[in-house]
Copies of this chain bind each other. A is one copy, B any other.
Amino acid sequence: MKQKKIHKVFIDGPINPDFIAEAIAKHSDKKNIGAHSLFLGQVRNDKIGDDEVTAIEYTSYHEMAEEKFHEIREDAFTHFSLICMHIYHSLGKVNAGEISLLVFTSAIHRADAIDACEAIVERIKKDVPVWGKEIFSNENSQWKTNN
């Protein structure tokens, strides 16, 4: 049986811009790449009345989420002509203005990178068991819903 290569997806806390820069820089020796597409999810300070979201706390069903990320990865390589793809998702607390999701696809041609990136983002939102709890400035909280 083929050994699954484990790609670490979950990151404790926010995804820092420097981490993204490093991820980009690592591709400079893959000289057949012509296009990268990156999606970044940033935590919004949504307002409800006088109150606003100050952070989201992410939890996951870790084992199932990793299987789903693996499946999404395999499907992306099947459906798109990709050279690389990387997914990073935060767990724990991420403040408003910080980044909680990075999807990063690379291809010879731009259409593959762009279309794959978008498809992967949709799959993550829909299929991966991760939950965000919105923490408000008055210390109330509510479970986030995706649309």
Give A contacts to B, CB under 8 Å: 17-18, 20-22, 24-25, 27-45, 96-99, 106, 108, 110, 113-114, 117-118, 121
Contact of A96 among B31, B40, B45, B113 (CB under 8 A): B31
Q: Are A33 and B42 in contact (CB under 8 A)?
A: yes
Q: In angstroms, how far is the closest chain B Cβ from the Cβ of A15?
A: 10
Bound Cα distance A45, B32 (Å) = 6
In Å, the complex CA distance between A33 and B41 comes to 9
Chain B: minimal CB distance from A134 (Å) = 12
As for how many copies of this chain the complex holds, the number is 2
| Docked complex Cα distance between A40 and B20 (Å) | 13
The secondary-structure label for the interface of chain A is: mixed
Contacts of A39 in B (CB 8 A): 35-38, 110, 113-114
> Quick one: closest B residue to A104, CB to CB?
B38
Contacts of A97 in B (CB 8 A): 27-31, 33
In the complex, which residues of chain B have a beta carbon less than 8 angstroms from the beta carbon of A28?
42, 97-98
Take A21-B17, A21-B21 as given contacts and tell me if A41 and B30 are in contact as well, using a CB distance cutoff of 8 Å. no
- For the complex, what is the distance from the CA of A32 to the CA of B44, rounded to whole Å? 5
**Contact of B25 with A35 in the complex, beta carbons under 8 Å:** no
Chain B residues contacting A96 (CB-CB under 8 Å) are 31
Closest chain B residue to A42, Cβ basis: B33
Q: Give every chain B residue within 8 A of A44 (Cβ-Cβ).
A: 31-34, 108
